[in-house]
Amino acid sequence: MPRMKRDAKTVYNWLERRLQIEGPVKDAALHKVPRSTASWWYVFGSAAFTLLLLQVVTGILLALVYSPTAANAWNSLNVLNHQIPLGWFIRALHGWGSNFMVAIVFIHMCQVFLFGAYKFPRELTWIVGVFLLLMTLGMAFTGQVLRFDQDAYWGLGIGVFMMSRVPLIGGALVHFLLGGPNISGATLSRFFTLHVFVIPGLLLSFAMVHVWMVLKLGINEWPMPGRLVRRETYIAIYNRLSHEDGIPFVPGAFWKDLIFSGAIVAAVAVCAMVFGPYGPGGMPNPSIIQTTPKPDFPFLWIFAILAYLPPALETPVILVAPILAIAGLLALPFVAGEGEKSWHRRPIAVLTVSFIAVAWGVFTHLGTYTPWSPHMNAWSSDAIPARYTHSATPLVREGAVVFQAKQCRNCHEIEGVGGQRGPALDDVATRMTPDEMRYKVVTGGGNMPAFGKNLSPAEVEALVAFLETLHPANERPAYDGALRETSTHNGSPPPVTGSK
């Protein structure tokens, strides 16, 4: 045993003599950090880096089998899922690793922002971090394209259509992105190159620079309210903190990084095992149009915003908002490079993060069930509840048939079933008089198409008769006061009939 130990020492010394790496490694590991930074709040950066390494490893494993051609990519993913032993698990690790990485990078950014870590002298660390965030999102998008299924195909279409809005060079940009006139093999090759060579290369080098600066400039100290950052005094204050009240980075702070990173990788593995890999969904054959394209989780919020923007605002927002957002992030350390670091005294910072988090959560949630999209099969698969037609007149029943057959249900819910594009019609009779309904059905308006050309007068009458029965049992349908005055009924509002 002692002999083996001696041999190992000899080998180590031989290597060290040539590599001379012990000094820098020791310096990096043992440099003193302020005691306050050995905190569970400071573990997200290292976790993001661990996830990046996991993605690199699982990505290389997948590339052993994946075939980056439009003709075979989808097939090779199915081979991975079903034929290669544990191929599904490696795909699941890569997919869930991606989700976790996007999430951890965002959390890391919020933490760094709230702790004022972007202030002097760490401005460049923040700027490099902004690019790391963009590249992480770039990896998420290009990765979705490599899962070459229907969502990938039409997702590319969405991306290209956004690019086509760029003035003057929009058309050229589309050709450049697609590698040709269409989404095709050339497009997949481009995105494969981006996902496997270009972005990972940049991502790894930028991450190295990022870590290098953290080592050189020191970890941001725990912000104390009232301890302001000044260019003239900060370095001295930081040195005092790290040397007078400091502990060596290893093991003082590093053990928390290790445990958290391990836990995150374990969480990825558990998710991969329990939930399995993502897709691939339907085959990337554009002539199969029975599909409801949707982007992956990190981009659902954009999908939602694109549904809600007024048409006139769309192009300006698509083209200008990302530039403003990125410029804002890059400018942040120059605008607020000094001063208060503590979130206790930065209400606007806290509000900004809270606002963005809530907005992001709401839009992402909306993106999961897309209330703005017609339900393409509602007209043929969602039945009219029986009690609506149970003791109805033939005309009302005919109206219910028209309601289904003309796809009204694709956009209008009844009893919580159907599309949500338009308003639910459970109590439409209390909101609109029959004449208003006729007018709306025939001429459309707002988000409703005009059905005038596609409905016969008899169909319109039947439909309106059916809609008129849609009101709560104890609530009168709406009626036209002026008509009432002049009608032969002489003043009595219509009786409560046809209640459900």
Partner 1 sequence: MVERSDSPHPASTGAEIGRAAEVASDLEGPRVVSRRWMLLKAGIALNGLIGIGLAIPIIRYLFSPIRPDSAYNSWVSLGTADSFPMGETRLISFTNPWRRPWDGQTVDIPCYVRRTGKRQFQVFAINCAHLGCPVRWFPQSQLFMCPCHGGVYYADGSRASGPPTRGLFTYPNKVVAGNLQIYAGQMPTLSNVPKPPESAKLVNIAAPTPEGDCPCRG
Considering only residues 358 to 377 of the shown chain, the ones binding partner 1 according to CB under 8 A are 372-374, 376
Give the nearer residue to partner 1 in terms of CB position, either 289 or 473. 289
User: Helix, strand or coil for residue 188?
Assistant: helix
Site for partner 1 in 211-240 (CB under 8 A): 215-218, 235, 238-239
Told to check if 460 binds partner 1 by CB under 8 A, we report: no
By CB under 8 A, tell whether 344 contacts partner 1.
no
- Exactly one of 227, 397, 406, 438 binds partner 1 (CB under 8 A); that residue is 406
> Which residues within the stretch 15-34 sit at the binding site for partner 1 (CB under 8 A)?
24, 26-27, 30-32
Of 165, 231, 344, 489, the one binding partner 1 by CB under 8 A: 165
Count other C-beta atoms under 10 Å from residue 83's C-beta: 11
Considering only residues 411 through 440, tell me which ones interact with partner 1, judged by CB under 8 A. 411, 421
Measured from the CB atom, the residue of 199 and 272 that comes closer to partner 1 is: 199
60, 64, 86, 172: residue in contact with partner 1 (rule CB under 8 A)? 172
Distance of closest approach, residue 93 Cβ to partner 1, in angstroms:
27
Residue 42 is a binding residue for partner 1 (CB under 8 A):
no
Cβ atoms 288, 282 nearer than 8 A: yes
**Judging by beta carbons within 10 Å of its beta carbon (0-12, 13-18, 19+), is residue 12 exposed, middle or buried?**
exposed
CB of 452 to partner 1, least distance (A): 10
Quick one: 14 exposed, middle or buried, by C-beta within 10 A (0-12, 13-18, 19+)? Answer: exposed
Least Cβ distance, residue 78 to partner 1 (angstroms): 14
* DSSP-derived pairing of the beta strands 246-248 and 32-34: antiparallel
Q: How far from 341 is each of 90, 436, 457, CA to CA, in Å?
A: 42, 59, 70
183 or 268: whose CB is closer to partner 1? Answer: 183
Among residues 181 and 491, whose Cβ is nearest to partner 1? 181
Of 12, 40, 41, 161, the one binding partner 1 by CB under 8 A: 161
Q: Does 462 bind partner 1 (CB under 8 A)?
A: no
Cα–Cα distance for residue pair 218/103, rounded to 1 Å:
25
Residues 261-320 that bind partner 1 (CB under 8 A): 283-287, 289-293, 303, 306-307, 309, 311-312, 314
Site for partner 1 in 52-111 (CB under 8 A): 69-72, 74
Question: CA 468, CA 459: separation in Å to the nearest integer?
Answer: 14
- Find all residues with CB under 8 Å of 228, minimum gap 6, and list them: 338, 339, 340, 341
Is residue 339 helix, strand or coil? Answer: strand
What are the two backbone dihedrals, phi and then psi, of residue 33, each rounded to the nearest 5 degrees? -120, 155
Interface with partner 1 (CB under 8 A), residue from 102, 451, 464, 477: 451
Least separation in angstroms between CB 467 and partner 1: 16
* Residue 290: both structure tokens together: 């029975």
Beta bridge partner(s), residue 34: 246
**Cβ neighbours for 186, distance < 8 A, ≥ 6 positions apart:** 178, 179, 180
Interaction between residue 256 and partner 1 (CB under 8 A): no
Q: Which is nearer to partner 1, 137 or 306 (CB)?
A: 306
